[in-house]
């Protein structure tokens, strides 16, 4: 098992106001889809977002929000679904979010389907 981490930009102050350091860490590992979406949005301006995402992909993080993406069983998912049968509107939204995940991974220099397994 590799614990490889992405290289950290040493120009970034590690004591900066990183969202995962400022807010409750449990937010990034919540069971609530709404709280996970909030955590994703807080990652948006983080200076270490790309490194965090790359490290999580390398480690196949089992769950949580890493680099602005939700991981579930080692795969990036568009959003966490609540329990029960999904509504038709949610199924359509999932298709849109899958495209968004692909675009975000490409923007961070990751080959989406080749380097990250997307959960169905």
**Binding site members for [4Fe-4S] cluster:** 20, 43, 46, 52
66 phi/psi in degrees, rounded to 5:
-135, 125
Q: How far apart are the first and last CA of the chain?
A: 24
Helix (H, G, I), strand (E, B) or coil at 18: coil
d(CA 99, CA 39): 20
Binding-site residues from annotation? 20, 43, 46, 52
């Amino acid at each position: 098992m590799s614990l490889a981490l992405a290289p950290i930009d040493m120009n970034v102050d590690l004591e900066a106001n990183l969202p995962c350091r400022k807010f409750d860490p449990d937010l990034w590992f919540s069971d609530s889809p709404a709280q996970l979406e909030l955590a994703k949005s807080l990652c948006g301006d983080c200076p270490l977002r790309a490194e965090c995402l790359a490290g999580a992909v390398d480690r196949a993080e089992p769950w949580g929000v890493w680099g602005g993406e939700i991981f579930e069983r080692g795969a990036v998912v568009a959003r966490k679904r609540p329990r029960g049968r999904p509504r038709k509107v949610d199924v359509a939204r999932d298709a849109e979010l899958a495209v968004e995940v692909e675009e975000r991974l490409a923007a961070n220099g990751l080959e989406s389907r080749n380097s990250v397994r997307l959960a169905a």
